[in-house]
Amino acid sequence: MILLEDLMKEKDFAGAVGEIAADFRRRFALPAVHQLGIVVPDVEDAAGELEGKGVPPFFIAGGKTDFWHERYEPRTFIGKMGIAYFKGFELELLEAGTGSDFYRQCIDGRCRPVVQHLGFLVQDVDTWASILSQAGYPVWVRGKLSAFPSSANFAYMDTVSDAGLVMEFICWKLLGFRLSPPPAAFHTIGRIQKLSGKRAIYL
């Protein structure tokens, strides 16, 4: 189990993140780590605690994914997430949600934030998913979520046995054009949410 609090105690946070599943990532020449996917019992509580430790304000949203195919079977998944950037990495907080146990199975009994997956920004999710699938690591979840004008396609790969955690490929688009998520925009909306007293947007 990889705990976010342990990574944040390291003097070199980026170096500590770089050590996670390093051999596995080198084996497949995966892109640079963009995201730490962190499972928590409650996104708003976790966001508040992390903001108190110096993480910028989280953008928090909840709702239903456009589609969620788990082990190639369609499901209806509803969840909540929080996004902020810390020392060059996206921190994505995720609740258990409903419709799947994919996140729920990683919730820590002591309510500590658990790093469940590493996320990588790619041009084509299916191309990268195929590379790992052909090597014996199948797609666990293939999904999409959107809120105009943005959308995100993603694939969670079943790499836990060899990598120690899940690998996720992500393609984020704005008005149909592939772009990297803008940290400043997420933090600005997060600040507005905090000032308004309403921490979550429901899409």
Round to whole Å and give the CA distance between 183 and 192: 14
In which domain, by residue range, is 127 found? 4-202
pLDDT 10s per residue in the chain (203 long)? 999 999 999 999 999 999 999 999 999 999 999 999 999 999 999 999 999 999 999 999 999 999 999 999 999 999 999 999 999 999 999 999 999 999 999 999 899 999 999 999 999 999 999 999 999 999 999 999 988 788 899 999 999 999 999 999 999 988 878 888 889 999 999 999 999 988 988 88
- pLDDT score of 82: 97
Q: What is the pLDDT of residue 81?
A: 97
- Output the domain CATH number for residue 60: 3.10.180.10
How many domains does the chain fold into? 1
